[in-house]
Amino acid sequence: MIAMVTWGATPVATKLGVAEIDPLVIGILRTLLAALITAPLALILRVARPGTGGDFLLLAASSLGGFVGFPLLFSIGVGMTSATHGALVLASLPVFTGLFAALAEKRRLALRWWLGCSIAMAGEVLLIGFGFGFEDTGASITGDLIILVSCGAASLGYVAGGRLSRSIGTWPTTLWGITCGGLLLAPVLPFVLSRVAWESVGATGFLAVAYLVLLSSILAYVAWYWALSRGDMARVGALQFTQPIVGVALAALVLSEPINPPLALAAAGILLGVWIVQKK
């Protein structure tokens, strides 16, 4: 839930950031600046490294999905739509995560998972149904679809990182994943910095980047990989259904994006579905 609350605020932080900084630059800085922190930590602390070919493949999938594909696509998508829409589309994360986890572990998902996800998704459908009725500005189907693709990339990274955490630990998985992502994005940064008028970027823009770097890219991933490495991935992944609730609430509080009363009913359905999946 620490990860969910932190990531729930990410659409709002991203929307605030892209209002002053180019979305592509936001996506790159989110991982690259985090890598400037994680790379020295990984070396100083001498954290464990992947020891097998399988571990390196998991690290590559974790880094490409969670720290390259997701931040780039999500930042671009949020720049084309509203924070509320961005939060709502994130509802697809637990479904992607559960399915990828089942494929990776070569097992069938329990009937309880399907039932709980169906109820939670019904709540999400209600949420999205009313969400598209919001009188927000700048929302677009294109932006929403880009965010949907980013969710698939993130879920792939989650599952790979969760499996890698079981062999080398939570902190090594996070530190090396971010570091590798930063190394991949570093060559691109010089070519996109000119897209930003840095003299016009205010405190809000820089604070948004700081949130995305320190909390969304480091703290939340540590918490998430810790949870995935110690529990059933599909069951733990269902907690992601709570993320849009946090995102929509913060979009209303911080960005004054309107909320309709039926959201309470949608939230109840989402939480009921999560409870069914979590119940043993």
Angstrom distances, CA of residue 155 to CA of 80, 96, 198:
22, 6, 33
Most confident of 54-63, 124-133, 158-167: 54-63
Q: Which two tokens stand for residue 170?
A: 């939570």
Angstrom distances, CA of residue 45 to CA of 36, 39, 222, 264:
15, 10, 16, 45
Tens of pLDDT along 227-250?
877 777 667 777 777 777 788 788
Angstrom distances, CA of residue 226 to CA of 3, 65, 238:
10, 18, 15
Q: Which tops the pLDDT comparison, 268 or 31?
A: 31
Q: What is the pLDDT of residue 144?
A: 79
Return all residues near 155 (Cβ < 8 A) that are at least 6 apart: 65, 93, 96, 97, 100, 237
Q: What is the pLDDT of residue 185?
A: 94
Given CA atoms 248, 249, 250, 253 in this order, what sign does their dihedral have? positive
Residues 31 and 271 sit within 8 Å (Cβ to Cβ): no
Lowest mean pLDDT of 116-120, 157-161, 271-275, name the range.
271-275
Q: Which tops the pLDDT comparison, 267 or 133?
A: 267
Q: Which tops the pLDDT comparison, 132 or 82?
A: 82
Q: Is the pLDDT of residue 54 over 70?
A: yes
For the segment 141-158, the average pLDDT, to the nearest whole number, is 87
Q: Which two tokens stand for residue 174?
A: 């996070």
Lowest mean pLDDT of 35-49, 88-102, 148-162, name the range.
88-102
Query: Which is nearest to 93 in space by CA: 142, 151, 141?
Result: 151
Residue 222, Cβ density class (10 Å: 0-12 exposed, 13-18 middle, ≥19 buried): middle
Q: What is the pLDDT of residue 260?
A: 61
Q: Is the pLDDT of residue 133 over 50?
A: no
Q: What pTM was computed for the model?
A: 0.80
What is the share, in percent, of the chain residues with pLDDT greater than 90? 36
For the segment 111-130, the average pLDDT, to the nearest whole number, is 74
Residue 256, Cβ density class (10 Å: 0-12 exposed, 13-18 middle, ≥19 buried): exposed
Tens of pLDDT along 81-114?
877 777 777 777 877 888 888 888 787 878 887 8
Task: Specify the 3-state DSSP secondary structure of 277.
Answer: helix
Q: So where are the chain's domains?
A: 2-103+139-257
Report residue 43's pLDDT band, with 50, 70 and 90 as the boundaries. Answer: very high
Report residue 134's pLDDT band, with 50, 70 and 90 as the boundaries. Answer: very low
Q: What is the pLDDT of the chain when averaged over all its residues?
A: 84
Q: Which two tokens stand for residue 267?
A: 């939230």
Tens of pLDDT along 167-218?
998 889 999 999 999 999 999 998 898 888 888 899 999 999 999 999 998 9
Q: 105 phi and psi, to 5 degrees?
A: -95, 0
The whole-angstrom distance between residue 47's C-alpha and the CA centroid of its chain comes to 24
